[in-house]
Every structure is written in structure tokens, then in C-alpha cells.
Amino acid sequence: MTDETAPLRPEARSPRGFIDRRARDLVAERQILTAVSAVYERYGFEALDTGAFEYADALGKFLPDADRPNEGVFALQDDDEQWMALRYDLTAPLARFAAQNWETLPKPFRRYAFGPVWRNEKPGPGRFREFTQCDADTVGSARPEADAEIIAMAAEGLAAAGLPAGSAVIRINNRKLLNGLLATAGVSDERQKLGVLRAVDKLDRLGPDGVRLLLGEGRKDESGAFTKGAGLNAAVAEAVLAFTAAGGGDRAGVLARLADIIGGSAEGDAGLAELAAIDGALKSLGVAEDQAVFDPAVVRGLEYYTGAVFEAELLLETTDEKGQPVRFGSIGGGGRYDDLVARFTGQPVPATGFSFGVSRLAAALRAAGRDLAAETRGPVVVIVFSQDDMAHYFAAAAELRAVGLAAEVYLGSSGMKAQMKYADRRRAPAAVILGGDEIAAGTVTIKDLDLGRELAAGISDNSQWREQRPGQINCPRSELVATVAKIVRGV
């Protein structure tokens, strides 16, 4: 066969920013989703699932003014020439759903949702184009207590997901405070305000000196690329930096310091009053001062937030595969977005919510040595010796499955040694051996693979239990299920 006639073979590769996930990743994420969803339901939130695609114009501020709206999102044109885009988050679809069904919904409408979202952005370490989120939102309540309830749920959800006490904190701010500060300083241009928000949002990465440059004329990074700044004068820029540094200590103390900085603007005072109401509700809900703090440096990057904003930060020490320290930072966030539904209806509809980055949280737990799926085991493997005895093998697997034990019959073509290696790679708790001798005698041999892994790992506790637990058991065929169940379930 010549090069010209050889079949074209595509390279097996994953698209940039998309990853393949095996059972370990999927089980960890599923456990987080199950735990957090249970918290949302205890608070009375209703499950909702919207489609993966939304009409592009429904995504609003995420899209540029261009003929093809594919910057930031993955978009395509339907056969009716309308542009659709994969959802960027779970909030914009909720706003569309609420506007579309407002007359029939209970008000306020309390919903939670989870699923994949897609962002057409440059991928990087820990930054993917597809990832899973889990949100809870209240639509139709302007009360600060609605924000507080979302924050309390987020704190409870972090604990339910597997984070120990003191390993995460929710940082809270209010956009109205910074708006009030800028108004007092005479800054009214919306683009300039947005530049300030974007600059402050980089505080944890660039530090005060870098943000000071972005608040002013701009900043040149290490590569030589220049980012235009917000154009504030030096005095206003220093006032903004002083505002961001007013956090620390109990929530009441932060409010007192902010009151001195804001300068008495109407919008700033409204923000302070909302934070004070949130503080009171958090105390009633039992959210401790170290679980949720007021931090003026938190502004959140999305434009649609109108009031309170919150961000969950991981405090656990985490390391990468090479044992090097790695910082995960934010593992979730949210806030109040009172104008999003109004884009569709023209009528103000207050809303607030929080979103967990499920994929990011699972990765962070693994990096902190708290892998939720580390002990996930595979199925019991029934070893195959002869094609003539397949009925015996499948009968054994069916009996195990009937009592809720995962089991499979080996359907490859390898010998016993390779099959045992296969069972170990599947992390099977046990292997069932029904050779000709066992079948003729009405017995079964069961290898305890969990015990073998413990011995190989040099685990020294439970020594008495291990001495009483044989690594291989031969028992009557009628005792197969009870014997395997004892290995798998420990009873």
C-alpha cells in the first residue's frame, strides 16, 4: 500500500480545554452534587434543569456586538437563522426561565440546578472550557435575608461536600459600597466604574501595587503587554485601595470601618444597611464569624451583580501531583443580580444566588488529600476458565447483583493470571473462582483482594482482624453471596 492509498488516520487527542474523566473523578463529583443538593432541598429549594443551549441574545452581557457571537461562548446558527449558544453558566438560563414562566411560578421562586457549562476561553492549568456547577437561587425577593440564607446554605454545602471546619471561608461584600465611594469622588462613567471593578477583582493575583496601576493609567505585565487602566486620579485610587483593605476581624468591626470610608453617599449607606441585615440574619442562622466574613476586596468579575456579592475561598493546604504547593483560591461564588430577569420583562425582579464550582472543588479536595473517591472499589470479578461453564459464571454474577453487590464476569480472552491482574486494576474487592473442580464438588473459591491490597500497602492496624481473615476462602456454593458480602460490606 502506497502513502497515497493509505487510509487517513486522525490523531487521537482531546480538544484543548476539555478533559476525559474516569470513575474516580465522576464518583467524587457525584458525591459532592448529592451532598450539596440535599442541603438545598432541606432549605426548600426546587430542582430545575434547563437545556444546554440558550438563544444567544438571552445570554446578554457575555456576548460581543459582532456578526458571529462566539467570543466567550460556543455558538451556532439554527436552521431558522437564530443564533444559539451553549450555556455559559446556570444563572442566565434561570433568568430566561423565570421571565418565561413568571405568571405560574410561586414567588419568590427558589430553585437549585447542577450540570455542565461551557466557556469559549483560553484554557490553562485548572481552567477548562467545560466544567460542572451546582447553583441555588432565590428569584423575587429583595430582602437581604435572602442573601443571608444563600450564604448559610453555601457554608453548610461546603461542609456537606467534605470540607472540615475552618478549611473554607465565605467572603462577602456589596457592590453598592464601592459605587457609593466612586460617586462621592465624582466618578460617574459606567465604563470607568467597570474598569475599577475589574482592577479590584485582580487584587489577590496582582497585589495592591499592581491594582494601583490598573486603577490609574494602566499596567504592563512581564510579557510587555499593556492593560489600559480605569483612569482614576491618584487620590481616588488610594481611596479605593483603602476601601479594599478595610476587612479583617468580626463583621461588625468591618461595617464600622467601612462607614468611615464610604463618606455618607446614599448608595453606600444602602449597601451598609444591607450588610448589617445580612449580619443579623447570619447570626440567627448560626453562621459563625470565621465561616462568613465581610471583605471589601471581593467584587466578583461578572457585570450583572447589583448588590451583595460573595465568594468561597479554600483555606486548606493543597499540593499538586509533584507535591508542590498549589493555590486553588475561589471554589464558588455568587451575589445579587436584580436586573437580569428585567432584561426580558422590562420589570424589576430581584434575585440572588450562589454557585459551587463542583469540578474545581473535587480537584481541590483531592489536592488536599481528601479525595472523596479514593476508596472507590470496582465490581467483584468472576474468573472464567472454560467456555463450557459460562452458565455457572453468569449465575454467580446474577446472584451477587440480586443483593446489590456489583459483579462482572470476565469477558476477555486471557488466562487466570491476567484475569487476577485485571481484577486488581478494577480495584475489585474479591475474585470468584469456579473451576471445574469447584463446580463438580459444589463449592466456590473466593480470593479477598481487599486484604491483599492492605497487606501490600503495609497497613499495620487491625492486625488481629487480619489474622482471623483468610486471604482465600473455599466454601459451599450456596454460601457464595454471604461470603462475598462479608468481604465487601464487612458484615
The residue with greater pLDDT, 2 or 226, is 226
Categorize the per-residue pLDDT at 66 as very low, low, confident or very high, splitting at 50, 70 and 90: low
The answer as to whether 5 is a domain residue is no
Q: Contact at 8 Å (CB) between 354 and 305?
A: no
**CB atoms near residue 149 (< 10 Å):** 24
Whether 175 and 237 share a structural domain: yes
Average pLDDT over residues 8-30: 89
Average pLDDT over residues 202-227: 88
In this structure, what C-alpha cell is assigned to residue 77? Answer: 446558527
The residue with greater pLDDT, 212 or 122, is 212
The answer as to whether 455 is a domain residue is yes
In this structure, what C-alpha cell is assigned to residue 395? Answer: 449465575
Categorize the per-residue pLDDT at 405 as very low, low, confident or very high, splitting at 50, 70 and 90: very high
The CATH number assigned to the domain holding 292 equals 3.30.930.10
By three-state DSSP, how is residue 444 classified?
strand
In this structure, what C-alpha cell is assigned to residue 103? Answer: 405568571
Whether 440 and 482 share a structural domain: yes
Whether 167 and 304 share a structural domain: yes
| 336-340, 358-362, 419-423: least confidently modelled range | 358-362
The CATH number assigned to the domain holding 445 equals 3.40.50.800
Q: Is the pLDDT of residue 67 over 60?
A: no
The answer as to whether 155 is a domain residue is yes
Domain edge (last residue) among 367, 394, 409: 367
Helix axis angle, 23-42 relative to 358-367, nearest 10°?
A: 120
Domain edge (last residue) among 333, 367, 401: 367
Average pLDDT over residues 140-160: 96
Whether 386 and 251 share a structural domain: no
Q: Contact at 8 Å (CB) between 203 and 301?
A: no
Whether 363 and 394 share a structural domain: no
> What are residue 320's phi and psi, to 5 degrees?
-85, -170
Give the whole-angstrom CA distance, residue 447 versus residue 11: 41
Average pLDDT over the chain reads 88
Whether 277 and 154 share a structural domain: yes
Categorize the per-residue pLDDT at 491 as very low, low, confident or very high, splitting at 50, 70 and 90: low
Q: Which residues contact 317 (CB under 8 A, 6 or more apart)?
A: 325, 368
Percent share of the chain, pLDDT over 90: 54
In this structure, what C-alpha cell is assigned to residue 44? Answer: 426548600
Average pLDDT over residues 289-306: 87
User: Which domain covers residue 234, as residue numbers?
Assistant: 23-367
C-alpha distances out from residue 476 to 105, 233, 381, 438, 450, Å: 61, 86, 18, 9, 21
Whether 361 and 437 share a structural domain: no
> What per-residue confidence (pLDDT) applies to 361?
84
Categorize the per-residue pLDDT at 64 as very low, low, confident or very high, splitting at 50, 70 and 90: very low
Categorize the per-residue pLDDT at 58 as very low, low, confident or very high, splitting at 50, 70 and 90: confident
Categorize the per-residue pLDDT at 302 as very low, low, confident or very high, splitting at 50, 70 and 90: low
Q: Is the pLDDT of residue 43 over 70?
A: yes
> What per-residue confidence (pLDDT) applies to 188?
83
Give the whole-angstrom CA distance, residue 317 versus residue 204: 17
Categorize the per-residue pLDDT at 462 as very low, low, confident or very high, splitting at 50, 70 and 90: low
Categorize the per-residue pLDDT at 165 as very low, low, confident or very high, splitting at 50, 70 and 90: confident
Whether 273 and 212 share a structural domain: yes
Whether 472 and 333 share a structural domain: no
Strand order in the sheet with 53-55: 53-55, 83-86, 75-77
Q: What is the pTM of this model?
A: 0.82
The answer as to whether 400 is a domain residue is yes
Average pLDDT over residues 20-38: 90
Helix axis angle, 175-184 relative to 266-284, nearest 10°?
A: 160
Give the whole-angstrom CA distance, residue 273 versus residue 260: 14
Whether 449 and 360 share a structural domain: no
> What per-residue confidence (pLDDT) applies to 278?
97
> What per-residue confidence (pLDDT) applies to 465?
43
Sign of CA dihedral 24, 28, 33, 34: positive
The answer as to whether 52 is a domain residue is yes
Domain edge (last residue) among 367, 400, 429: 367
Among 125, 128, 146, smallest CA distance to 137 is for 146
Q: Is the pLDDT of residue 368 over 60?
A: yes
Q: What is the pLDDT of residues 228-265, one digit of tens each?
A: 988 888 988 898 898 888 888 999 999 999 988 886 78
> What per-residue confidence (pLDDT) applies to 105?
96
Q: Is the pLDDT of residue 316 over 80?
A: no
DSSP string, 216-282: TTEEE-TTS-EEE-----HHHHHHHHHHHT---S-HHHHHHHHHHHH-S-HHHHHHHHHHHHHHHHH
Partners of 86 in the beta sheet?
Answer: 53
Average pLDDT over residues 342-365: 88
Among 56, 75, 72, 45, smallest CA distance to 141 is for 45
Q: Is the pLDDT of residue 213 over 70?
A: yes
Whether 148 and 121 share a structural domain: yes
Average pLDDT over residues 384-410: 96
Whether 242 and 320 share a structural domain: yes
Q: For the chain, how many structural domains are there in total?
A: 2
> What per-residue confidence (pLDDT) applies to 126?
66
The answer as to whether 13 is a domain residue is no
> At residue 25, what is the residue type?
D
The answer as to whether 446 is a domain residue is yes
